[in-house]
Structure 1
Amino acid sequence: MRAIVVGAGIGGLAATLSLRRAGHEVTLVEQTPRLTETGAGIQLAPNATRELRRFGRLDEVAAQSARPADVSFRTWSDGTEICRYALGREAEDAFGAPYLQIHRADLQRALAAAVPPGAVRLDTQVVGIGQDDASAWATTADGERLVADLVVAADGIRSAARQWLFGTDEAIFSRTAAYRALLPAAEVADLDLPDTGVWLGPGRHFVHYRVRRGELLNVVAVFTTEVAAQESWTARAEPGEQLREFEGWAAPVLSVLERAGQVFRYGIHTRAPLARWNVGRVTLLGDSAHAMVPFQAQGAAQAILDAAVLGDSLADVTPDGVPEALERYVRRRLGTATGMQARSARAGEEFHLPDGPEAQARNARMAAYAAEHRFMPVATAWAVDVLDDKEQT
């Protein structure tokens, strides 16, 4: 069977590998002239790395990753530890797959290396998607029609395919923005930072972890704002802007922000949940279907899970069975992905509680949970193998 995948980000590459693993011929269409992933760090929990192993890419991804031992949640003002959860060997033993932290570009390269060059159409903009009873197609800006048995739109948070399928539906500003930076880990070695740190404060939180085999520190400083911020991985912050936004925070946080060098500022957007992702022979996948705030570190993971279930749902399917197979795929994934969207939004609200009784109660809840559990609450999602239940609803 033949498939067209639109978009060569993490979700599109994973979908390509999953469909090829199911025995199908795939054409991956990408509008940029080169496969270059923007952004910085990304966290891959065991539910995602389990699927990367099935795709045959886990070893390559792990070779470029950092393997954190644990994550420490701390208070914003003085760095007092609220609680700590295991991430390293304990998580791998418990969930059967590792917890990895990697640069987005390294993950993209590791996935792209398994896609035959002849299966990729770079510098090709898709301007329309159509279908009839027997086939589906993507029309390019040059007027070419690429025909297949199905089309998978993995074209990101600003998905054009989503609008073609379901009408005008804009990305939603989450009222949060973030500063991000990468700096050599050696430059902050004197700060005695936790392996992975999440610092919680009023209207803000600060995250840091290592990527690229531990050589770089990835920094994300999130803040609440009513001013819609540009959704861009390349928009630069004004010099010192991040220090003013996090004034009064604990000395290690300010030291990292001061040493960060080039700092980027981007607005965090989401998409409203959909009642369905598919129409006939065409379906959405990843951020085009369920873009979420990154506060549970599950955005990329959910796209990888989509890809795994998509390939599994289309295994042993003939062209006539594509619409029904896509229905199965959506039944198995929509509820879980939508639930993670909501869970991530709630986490952001919890992280940003004002000082006082609410924050104290949150800290007490977190400490009590950690006293009873080795892994953070979102780990309940890590334990689920999405291919165990063929007809999850």
Structure 2
Amino acid sequence: MPLTAIIVGAGIGGLATAIALRQADFEVTILEKRPTIEEVGYAIDVPPNGTRILKHLGMDLRKLRGCHQKSLDVFKADVEPMKEIRSESRDIGDDAPFLSVHRVDYHEALKDMAMDPSLSGKPAHLRCNSRVASYDSSSGSVSLASGEELHADIIVAADGNSSKAHTWIVGEEHPVRLTGLNNVRFTIPSSVMLGHDKLKQLVENTKDRMCVYIDEAGNFIAHYACRETLAFIMKILQTKSQYLPAR
């Protein structure tokens, strides 16, 4: 009899785990509390350690539709003219590129690999509207909000910050702690920016690198290419930024 696995959560972590277990000949069931698993969001970095793992799992990185980030350049933005304070290469080779991808594209590529019947191993079985109410580490089971109980050889909690799995495993809750950081993110289509003289230059000069503009207080704006759009990210920090040079 094949080993079985239950994965709680159909996000990026849950789907990646499903791919690995499927390839190890597990029968995988993914439980998702939402009615569907259509992803939303903005850009996400996939650094070389991540792209190496994806390639090991057999993913064609072109399916991520990502942009190859070759460098990170940091500027002090509260002086005139701006001053470059740090630059580092992110390009360690095409075998393990540093990619920025849209979260929707990333999620779709993982979902396809987890459930495509043409790939090796049995496709993962997705069950939506399946909210896990409790775990039992002794019997290897989860109970759903509907009252149904499911058993498996391996149970993986991949349901993010809201997961309560640790409460049932260690016997006490460890709530999420706020970082004190705030950020605002938005995307602008490249087609719009290319129609503006100054923004066109920005697109052409920064399509393969992340640029960070920072002030003395540690607030910063970062922008980088992501698929056919540029993703602009603003983060307002309450502490000194990691990008500021040490004094």
Q: 1:122 to 1:100 in 2, by over 3 A?
A: same
Counterpart position of 1:177: 182
Q: 1:83 to 1:186 in 2, by over 3 A?
A: farther
Between the aligned partners of 1:351 and 1:127, the Cα distance in structure 2 is 39
CA contact (8 A) 1:4 1:152 kept: yes
Superposition CA RMSD, Å: 2.1
Between the aligned partners of 1:164 and 1:349, the Cα distance in structure 2 is 37
Between the aligned partners of 1:217 and 1:81, the Cα distance in structure 2 is 21
CA contact (8 A) 1:10 1:108 kept: yes
Counterpart position of 2:160: 156
Counterpart position of 2:111: 112
Between the aligned partners of 1:69 and 1:352, the Cα distance in structure 2 is 18
Counterpart position of 2:67: 66
Counterpart position of 1:49: 51
Which residue identity lines up with residue 155 of structure 2 in the other structure? V
SS of equivalent residue, structure 2 residue 129:
coil
CA contact (8 A) 2:72 2:89 kept: yes
Counterpart position of 1:124: 130
Counterpart position of 2:77: 76
CA contact (8 A) 1:200 1:351 kept: no
Between the aligned partners of 1:145 and 1:68, the Cα distance in structure 2 is 45
Which residue identity lines up with residue 198 of structure 1 in the other structure? V
SS of equivalent residue, structure 1 residue 197:
strand
Matched, 1:146 2:150: yes
Counterpart position of 2:119: none
- Number of matched pairs: 225
Q: 1:352 to 1:56 in 2, by over 3 A?
A: closer
Q: Return the TM-score normalized by structure 2.
A: 0.83
Percent identical residues: 32
Q: 1:349 to 1:24 in 2, by over 3 A?
A: farther
Unaligned runs of 5+ in 2: 116-122
Between the aligned partners of 2:88 and 2:47, the Cα distance in structure 1 is 13
* Structure (1/2) with the larger strand percentage: 2
Matched, 1:85 2:91: no
Q: 1:118 to 1:2 in 2, by over 3 A?
A: closer
SS of equivalent residue, structure 2 residue 113:
coil
Between the aligned partners of 2:48 and 2:169, the Cα distance in structure 1 is 32
Counterpart position of 1:365: none
Q: Return the TM-score normalized by structure 1.
A: 0.54
Counterpart position of 2:6: 4
Between the aligned partners of 1:118 and 1:111, the Cα distance in structure 2 is 11
Q: Can you list the C-alpha shifts for 1:73-123, whole angstroms capped at 9, x where unaligned?
A: 1112243222322234xx225xx3111110111100000011227611112
Between the aligned partners of 1:197 and 1:12, the Cα distance in structure 2 is 31
CA contact (8 A) 1:74 1:81 kept: yes
SS of equivalent residue, structure 1 residue 31:
coil
Q: Can you list the C-alpha shifts for 1:283-332, whole angstroms capped at 9, x where unaligned?
A: xxxxxxxxxxxxxxxxxxxxxxxxxxxxxxxxxxxxxxxxxxxxxxxxxx
Matched, 1:217 2:222: no
Counterpart position of 1:205: 220
| TM-aligned CA deviation for residue 178 of structure 1 | 0.2
| TM-aligned CA deviation for residue 169 of structure 1 | 1.4
CA contact (8 A) 1:205 1:352 kept: no
Q: Can you list the C-alpha shifts for 1:27-47, whole angstroms capped at 9, x where unaligned?
A: 111111111223210011110
SS of equivalent residue, structure 1 residue 105:
helix
| TM-aligned CA deviation for residue 57 of structure 1 | 1.7
SS of equivalent residue, structure 1 residue 151:
strand
| TM-aligned CA deviation for residue 60 of structure 1 | 4.5
